[in-house]
Chain A
């Protein structure tokens, strides 16, 4: 390390590794991981999100989880929470649908209305 620019490079990479601890988050993906969600494959859904985000190097997206959301018939259920926008809830998710949501909603900013089961709080 010889210059401040070198330091900045390391800092940016390290901040990326620490993004879970707060900081620069644009979209939060909340996967419902209650018993029925897990039974319907929520773990696979969450894993796919993590993989897709990693593959695309999306540094400002956070995956987290919550408990039973009450929509048992539509599990796995996933919320996309974006600062300043109404919450979007997707239902009956599968790894295939996740890939589409990542491309359309997260990357291009277009809600995939076919999978949406609710919006707002």
Chain B
């Protein structure tokens, strides 16, 4: 029995770690042992608590006090004031919009609309402790399933719960299980897809890092249901902490007898191992993932045959996403009806999202399906920062699409998002303010897909490259009439003809931005103007002579010496040699320099005459 009176939970999700959580932890150990308090206070490293923007964050029990942006210098004060005198440090607490101090974690508005199922233990338990997972009800679902249910019973529970794959496609989980269950093969495999690659997405990483035993338990229940006795975790090598934690969880479970032979006295035997991916986005596609697991080059294969009939080493296999497994233990503990009571008609339960972009509370959230985008962005996410306006939200990463302000009341579920050209995807949500150029955003995702295309099928390998070239042309001021239509034609063809999900969905960001922001594409092409002043070829800098005080600072800082003038005549930017580095705008003491949308007429005229000349030569 311990004498501990305080549990100090330090968030050690990757966000907080890079903000210095480990240094804070060390400092606490130093200060506490110097003050002889080490035996009264438990320091616990947890997985991601969610509000990464406020990192490093910590929660102190029994009161549940929430501290944000803690630095090693604050540690001594926390110990002296809070731990010794019982006076929580108000300065480190969150302030709400009316500057009222929010002291405890449950009062933080960020958490209030969230419902945590898969993330229930993330940021609450020590992910490296099997006992803490068991304390929250861990492995009880597995024990109950193994001792009281047949595999078919277990599949029926999942069917009743309405759980669908959380990796993006939204395929009903019970159907995958049923197909493999019905296959009479001697050998079957269960595979966990932890190859999360969407830019800005970190749901799976946080789950694997924050609650690895939950994923393992989910996998074991699935293995029992389908009749597999071997499992593989496929996790990308860029997630070293996730790999370390899941390996530790596996060895702890083996040691405790939760894995191995005759688990819970049943005839069920199971073992799992971890395989690391080498960082190819396409390996998140299940057939490519299986190829990679077999030691082949990570290329997708045509479907059918589906992995359910011929998967790993030709044997029936189920590939489920990390978050899908994360939901399973709770479904068995709380019942399928409970799970199905959340969400919409066709999308049940909750979904974890990684909120990023121009939003106040970036971080990891779990919300019930069917919540509106408005609630997610403005209530949970805290709205747009810096006094800007909401412009668009990108859902589903390079496979998804952009939605606009008119879609803010759309419920977040698989079908509603798909209807409008976006998708649930794995759960990356990138919120954009009115300073973002949508053509440029589309170009970014296209560039990503071109990089990540495996090159096996030509629509994806050649077609995407063509689309990228057109987008580069448009953003550099060389777009021409018909480019938009050509992008649409290519996009639709690539969607239909590509071999795997990567190619089929890669045109989505372009097609959806054309659908909702066609005017931006048009102004880039016709007016040679980027209204958001992001595309440097389609904007220019100007000096307002009525404001200029003739200090010459801009001229001296200009790396290409394209600014001239005098104290009397004021200064002028010569547009032709200007490289748009923005130094002049930064150094001007009176804010006389500004960005102006549109290519400068001088530059436009010169480009046109050059184009004519080269056409002439071609003829």
* A28–B63 alpha-carbon span in the complex (Å): 11
Q: A58-66, A95-103, A107-115: which one contacts chain B?
A: A58-66
The verdict on A84 contacting chain B, using a C-beta distance below 8 Å, is no
A65 to B87, alpha carbons, bound, how many Å?
9
**Looking at the complex, which of B256-264, B340-348, B482-490, B574-582 is the stretch in contact with chain A?**
B256-264
Residues of B within 8 A of A15 (CB): 135
Q: How far is the CB of A49 from chain B (nearest CB, A)?
A: 9
Q: How far is the CB of B196 from chain A (nearest CB, A)?
A: 29
Q: Which of B2, B4, B86, B138 has the most CB of A within 10 A?
A: B86
B144 contacts A by Cβ under 8 Å: yes
Contact, CB under 8 Å: B131 / A13? yes
- With a cutoff of 8 Å between Cβ atoms, the chain B residues found around residue A63 in the complex are 5
**In the complex, A38→B132 CA distance in Å?**
34
* B49-91 Cβ-contact flags toward A at 8 Å (1 or 0): 0000000000001111000000000000000000011110000
**Inter-subunit contact B144/A4 (CB<8 Å):** yes
| A64 closest partner in B (C-beta) | B62
**Given A1-B258, A4-B147, A63-B5: A20 in contact with B62 (beta carbons within 8 A):** yes
- Does B143 make an interface contact (CB < 8 A)? yes
B7 close to A21 (CB less than 8 A): yes
Inter-chain contact B86/A21, CB cutoff 8 Å = no
- Against B, the Cβ 8 Å flags (1 = close, 0 = not) of A13-33 are 111111011100100100111
Q: Is the CB of B85 within 8 A of A38?
A: yes
Task: Select one of B5, B7, B87 contacting A18, CB under 8 A.
Answer: B7
Q: Is A104 an interface residue, CB under 8 A from the partner?
A: no
Q: Is B124 part of the binding interface, using a Cβ–Cβ cutoff of 8 Å?
A: yes
Alpha-carbon gap, A13 to B132, bound state (A)? 10
Tell me the minimal C-beta distance from A33 to chain B in angstroms: 4
By beta carbon, the residue of chain A nearest B8 is A20
- From A7, A20, A62, A67, B86 is in contact (CB under 8 Å) with A67
Contact status B264-A2, CB under 8 Å: yes
Q: Give, as a whole number of angstroms, the nearest-CB distance from B470 to chain A.
A: 55
Pair B86/A33 contact, Cβ less than 8 Å? yes
**Nearest chain A CB to B48 CB, angstrom units:** 17
CA distance A55 to B286 in the complex (A): 55
Contacts A17-B2, A34-B85, A64-B86; is A1 near B144 (CB within 8 Å)? no
Instruction: Assess the B42–A20 pair: CB atoms within 8 A.
Output: yes
Q: Number of contacting residues on B, CB 8 A? A: 37
CA distance A20 to B42 in the complex (A): 10
Once A54-B2, A57-B1, A65-B86 are accepted as A-B contacts, the answer to whether A18 and B137 lie under 8 Å apart by CB is no
Asked if B134 CB lies within 8 Å of chain A CBs, one says yes
A21 to B86, CA, bound (A): 17
Cβ–Cβ < 8 Å partners of A20 in chain B: 4-7, 42, 61-62
Known: A18-B7, A35-B85. A4 touches B134 (CB 8 A): no
Q: Which of these, B85, B143, B265, contacts A67 with CB under 8 Å?
A: B85
Does A22 contact B62, Cβ atoms closer than 8 Å?
yes
**Chain B contacts of A13 at CB under 8 A?**
131
Looking at the assembled complex, report how far the CB atom of B267 sits from the nearest CB atom of chain A, in whole angstroms: 13
Say yes or no for A105: interface residue by CB 8 A criterion: no
The smallest beta-carbon distance between A58 and chain B, in angstroms, is 9
List CB contacts (< 8 Å) of B320-364 with chain A: none
Q: Which residues does chain A contribute within 8 Å of B2, judged by CB atoms?
A: 17, 54
The answer on a CB contact under 8 Å between B147 and A21 is no
B139 within 8 A of A: yes
Contact at A10–B134, with CB atoms within 8 Å? yes
Query: What is the distance, in angstroms, from A17's C-beta to the closest C-beta of chain B?
Result: 7
Please give the distance in Å from B3's CB to the nearest CB on chain A: 4
Asked whether any CB of chain B lies closer than 8 Å to the CB of A74, the reply is no
CB of A46 closer than 8 Å to a CB of B: yes
Q: Are A54 and B1 in contact (CB under 8 A)?
A: yes
B379: Cβ under 8 A from any A Cβ: no
Mask, B137-160, CB within 8 Å of A = 1, is: 111100110010000000000000
Query: What separation, in Å, do the CA atoms of A89 and B68 have in the docked complex?
Result: 33
Q: How many Å lie between the Cα of A33 and that of B88 in the bound state?
A: 12
Interface check B451, CB cutoff 8 A: no
Other-chain residue from A18, A47, A51 in contact with B132 (beta carbon distance below 8 A): A18
Whether A116 sits at the interface, judged by CB under 8 Å, is no
Tell me, in angstroms, the Cα distance from A4 to B140 when the chains sit together. Answer: 7
| Residue contact B135 to A11, C-beta cutoff 8 Å | yes
A121 at interface (Cβ–Cβ under 8 A)?
A: no
Residue B61 contacts which of A2, A22, A33 (CB distance < 8 angstroms)? Answer: A22
Cα–Cα distance between A51 and B64 once the two chains are bound (Å)? 23
Give bound CA distance, A1 to B130, whole Å. 13
Subset of 6 A-B contacts with CB under 8 Å: A2-B257, A11-B135, A22-B62, A22-B64, A34-B85, A47-B3
Closest 10 CB pairs of A and B: A65-B86, A14-B135, A14-B131, A54-B1, A20-B7, A67-B87, A50-B3, A33-B86, A1-B257, A4-B143
Q: A3-B143, A50-B40 are in contact. List 18 more A-B contacts (CB 8 A).
A: A2-B265, A3-B264, A3-B265, A7-B143, A17-B135, A18-B125, A18-B132, A20-B7, A20-B62, A21-B9, A22-B61, A22-B64, A34-B85, A34-B86, A43-B84, A54-B1, A62-B62, A63-B5
* B interface residues (Cβ-Cβ under 8 A, vs A): 1-7, 9, 40, 42, 61-64, 84-87, 124-125, 131-132, 134-135, 137-140, 143-144, 147, 256-258, 262, 264-265
